[in-house]
Structure 1
């Protein structure tokens, strides 16, 4: 079976520009302090409301997507909710096999069709919410990574272990996005990739070269053979910021 090619990711802020911007800042001033405060409140609300979680999907949102994407979207979203509930129940009874959990989440989402943003949404860059991805029956590498990130968060995995990671896919010679899971600080991460169901250590994925990674808390720039360097808040990523705003709006349906 042929593997679909991941589309190029067009960066809105290149890593060197992000670093330069971070180095130029001398202090946020009162406006910057207010923005940081607002961001902190937003992150806290996101955690308390369970943004992006299957259990947070409202009936109104399900019906909205059924009208937009067809009645089968109800089945797909319901299957996602049932999957998370069943995995959560199994985790409570199990001894905590992280690799098994990661494999289950990776395989569940990888069953969805791979579709480029241009084909699926008529846009060059579009980050769908997990419910939107399930409802519309497909997504690209960013959507797969984001959906897995929120699913593992909902299942209780600490966010410091999870990083959505922008990489260069060497064999494809193009940009790609995966989810990295760190079993411990500084450990070699395990990679959840829509291009393969097997969850393998990054040390076995020489075909992927990290560029930057982020989660709810921060943005890190990768440096080959060295420790990653902080580039500030992940809110600098416009599409990520837009996705969080979309998730807040989904709660209102």
Structure 2
């Protein structure tokens, strides 16, 4: 599939916000257990607060998760990546939420049917956690994406089958999941998860702090998620 129009959620804000996100993962989320929820209650919340269309979108998400449950992780990656790439239209936070930098919950993204690169990654990340993928296998990866003659700030989800393994890249710009060496258009800057911040060629640094990530989790809990 060809590239979608890149919309990196306010590039300047992304450059600042991703560092803040990396610094608050461990304290806010800890060991990142599986994400649980009551399917009926979650769909009901979506309909009540975001409308009937949002309720149907959440039901479609839940149906995908039910189909993916018990499958091998490669198939789960494929299903989750495909669902979120098709569920959202790429946009910028300022046009979607009226804010320069806003981290939407999966429910909010589905209700809008739109999101920036962070929102795709958040949706995929929590979907895979819900399916039981070990959190240490997943990293938020900040990259520079080369699109023609331009280089844009971008975020993808990296799946690491082993700690030192080459990651598979789940990207909102293209649908095919590929190993990192097949994506020369992406230049990694750093990646992070609850275990630490990783810089190419450098040592892992510990993560600490609070910020938008904690606010995101708080909003998810108010919607009915039980992380």
The TM-score range, normalised by the shorter chain, is 0.7 to 0.9
Q: Is the 8 A contact 1:12 1:237 kept in 2?
A: no
- CA pair 102-175 structure 1, distance change in 2 beyond 3 A: same
| Pair 1:80 & 2:37 matched | no
- CA pair 222-56 structure 1, distance change in 2 beyond 3 A: farther
- CA pair 211-64 structure 1, distance change in 2 beyond 3 A: farther
Specify the alignment match of 1:181 in structure 2.
159
Specify the alignment match of 2:16 in structure 1.
11
- CA pair 14-62 structure 1, distance change in 2 beyond 3 A: closer
Specify the alignment match of 1:108 in structure 2.
83
Post-superposition Cα deviations, 1:3-39, rounded to whole Å, max 9, x if no partner, equal 2112211314759xx9xxx9xxxxxxxxxxxxxxx94
- Measured in 2, the distance between the counterparts of 1:204 and 1:113 equals 25
- Measured in 1, the distance between the counterparts of 2:48 and 2:206 equals 36
* Comparing 110-119 and 191-200, the one that deviates more: 110-119
SS of equivalent to 1:146: helix
Structure 1 unaligned segments of length 5 or more: list them: 23-37
Count, aligned residues: 214
Q: TM-score, normalised by structure 2?
A: 0.82
Specify the alignment match of 1:214 in structure 2.
192
Post-superposition Cα deviations, 1:148-186, rounded to whole Å, max 9, x if no partner, equal 011111111101100011111133411100000011120
Structure 2 unaligned segments of length 5 or more: list them: none
| Pair 1:151 & 2:127 matched | yes
Alpha-carbon distance, 1:249 to partner: 2.4
- CA pair 127-12 structure 1, distance change in 2 beyond 3 A: closer
Specify the alignment match of 1:62 in structure 2.
46
What is the Cα-based RMSD across aligned positions, in Å?
A: 2.8
SS of equivalent to 2:141: strand
Structure number with higher relative contact order (C-alpha < 8 Å, ≥ 6 residues apart): 2
- Measured in 1, the distance between the counterparts of 2:54 and 2:181 equals 37
- Measured in 2, the distance between the counterparts of 1:167 and 1:181 equals 15
Alpha-carbon distance, 1:55 to partner: 4.1
Post-superposition Cα deviations, 1:122-172, rounded to whole Å, max 9, x if no partner, equal 111011111111122111100000110111111111011000111111334
- Measured in 1, the distance between the counterparts of 2:204 and 2:40 equals 31
Q: 2:206 aligns with which of 215, 232, 236?
A: 232
Q: TM-score, normalised by structure 1?
A: 0.74
